[in-house]
Amino acid sequence: MKIFYLGYEIARREFLSNLFISIKLLENKSVDKVVLANTLILKYLFKFKLMPKGAVFHKSAQKYTHGYLKDLKRKGFFNVLQDAESVSYHTQDNQIDPFMKPPEAFEYIDLFCSINEEENQTIKNFSQNTKVINTGFIRFWPFSNEEFTNTLLDNEINSIKKKYGKNVLYLSSSTAFRYHSVLKSSEEVYKYLRFNDAMSESHAQLMIKWAEYGQYSLFSLLEFIRIFNEKYQGKINFTYRPHPSEDTKFIKRLFNSIPFIKISSKNSLHASILAADSVICST
């Protein structure tokens, strides 16, 4: 029996795309069963030997996951990876730094699903044993099927439109450390990156530098909102969808006195995007 295990971290963000993949795999008879569950549940099922052999989908492969990946492969599981967190990027010295999927991870990865051609070629260059296919960003596959999204999301989309009317959706992708929900200093961030994620010292310092830059991005956003309000005079709402790591209390205090700004991450990501008139993504 061919079983495919699809794990998710945050249901509102990932469940719909995983459901879409599940349906396609079953319709095409690529697999006999799909198990759709929280990633931690799948890990415990494997730990207690309650998980029959099959293919397991992963959305990242940081160093701290390599023990789990190694154990899965040793037990006969088929590891599938798409880096849904951060694609490979060029550092200042023009070197590729795939920190969410370091080269050594591919000793345990059987199939890699790249997001774009650049990533596709990058992985092929340092991994000879892993099959690599360019699938595009799987999390957005449901947008390609209007019937699917309308069937599942029509009520939620209408509810969002009724609540917010015409709105611009802002998707926050990261945050400066002092606005993080848990980590409140550069020392705490550095310790987390170095030991929890087993990240190199140079990369940890680079991540902190980027996080600090997030403060300037925030000031730029405030200036954009000022110009936005001058033009539309509150006729169009601005919906701010915080990143899961952000301190939402801080964001709410920041925008508390501005009536046309709405703070919300309660709805599914896909419904929020489809209900918006325009979408802005922070990087």
User: Which pLDDT band, with edges at 50, 70 and 90, does 175 fall under?
Assistant: low
The per-residue b/e assignment along 155-178, b for 16 or more CB within 10 angstroms, e otherwise, is ebbeebeeebeebbbbbbebbbbb
Given a cut of 60, whether residue 89 has pLDDT beyond it is no
Given a cut of 50, whether residue 177 has pLDDT beyond it is no
* Mean pLDDT across 159-186: 76
Q: Give the whole-angstrom CA distance, residue 153 versus residue 282.
A: 25
Q: Give the whole-angstrom CA distance, residue 136 versus residue 139.
A: 9
Given a cut of 50, whether residue 141 has pLDDT beyond it is yes
Residue, of 197 and 63, whose pLDDT is higher: 63
Radius of gyration for the alpha carbons in the chain, expressed in angstroms and rounded: 20
Residues 88, 71 contacting (CB under 8 angstroms)? no
Place of tokens 């370091």: 102
Mean pLDDT of the chain: 86
Residue 214 sits at φ, ψ, to 5 deg, of: -60, -25
What 251-255 contacts at long range (C-beta under 8 Å, 24+ apart), as own/partner pairs, is 251/179
Given a cut of 50, whether residue 208 has pLDDT beyond it is yes
The per-residue pLDDT for range 20-32, each reduced to its tens digit, is 999 999 999 999 9
Could you tell me which residues are beta bridge partners of residue 35?
5
The per-residue pLDDT for range 69-87, each reduced to its tens digit, is 999 999 999 999 999 876 5
Q: Which letter does DSSP use for residue 195 in this model?
A: I
User: Which pLDDT band, with edges at 50, 70 and 90, does 172 fall under?
Assistant: confident
Would you state the pLDDT for residue 183? 59
**Listed range (29-43, 51-65, 204-218) with the worst mean pLDDT:** 204-218
Q: Give the whole-angstrom CA distance, residue 201 versus residue 191.
A: 10
User: Which pLDDT band, with edges at 50, 70 and 90, does 140 fall under?
Assistant: very high
User: Which pLDDT band, with edges at 50, 70 and 90, does 119 fall under?
Assistant: confident
What secondary structure, in 3-state letters, does 212-240 show? HHHHHHHHHHHHHHHHHHHHHCCCCEEEE
Q: Give the whole-angstrom CA distance, residue 20 versus residue 153.
A: 13
Cα angle value 148/149/150 (rounded, 5°): 95
Strand 33-38 and strand 78-81: the pairing is unpaired
**DSSP alpha helix (H) spans, the chain:** 11-27, 39-47, 66-74, 117-126, 146-164, 186-191, 201-232, 248-255, 269-275
Q: Give the whole-angstrom CA distance, residue 90 versus residue 102.
A: 14
The per-residue pLDDT for range 28-56, each reduced to its tens digit, is 999 999 999 999 999 999 999 999 999 99
Given a cut of 90, whether residue 199 has pLDDT beyond it is no
Would you state the pLDDT for residue 171? 92
